[in-house]
Amino acid sequence: MDEARLDTPAAIDEHLTRVLTRAERARYGVRFVLCDRDNRVRVHCPVDEPPPFADGDGPRGTVAAFAASLTREPPGGGVLVVLTRPGSGAVSASDRAWFHATYEVCRAARVRVLGVYLVTPADLREILLDDAL
């Protein structure tokens, strides 16, 4: 993986624009971008068939699996969660479920969240707390 440093929203936008293909942006998926303590990208972990959000444990269990990998040595890593799907950039119930699962699980595991992003064929945006309420 490259040495991209995801320190700012602009750096995250640039990185995601560069690494996600149009086909990836147009299909349902979730991608966990695991970073070191300096926010340098270490690995992208795409999940092409994410569990349904209606199953309350689906998003939580998936986030927990990746968060656990960041609790081992070396400490201080962070995760960027990227939701991809067709359609508009309007935040959906599924997007909100992934947002809440990410922050709840990572807070409990003491893993830094670099953000939760929604990427569609036409849009790339960070999901903010106001979007998820």
Model pLDDT, residue 2: 61
Model pLDDT, residue 48: 75
- The structure tokens listed for 5 are 């440093």
Model pLDDT, residue 38: 94
**Contact status, residue 75 vs residue 37, Cβ threshold 8 Å:** yes
Model pLDDT, residue 71: 84
Q: Estimate the crossing angle of helix 93-109 against helix 57-69, to 10 degrees.
A: 40
> For the chain, what percent of residues have pLDDT higher than 90?
70
Q: Which residues of the chain have pLDDT under 70?
A: 1-2, 51-57, 73
Model pLDDT, residue 40: 95
Model pLDDT, residue 52: 60
Number of Cβ atoms within 10 Å of the Cβ of 8: 10
Model pLDDT, residue 37: 92
Model pLDDT, residue 55: 54
Model pLDDT, residue 108: 94
Q: Quote the pTM value.
A: 0.91
- For the sheet with 124-126, list strands across it: 41-47, 29-35, 78-84, 112-119, 124-126
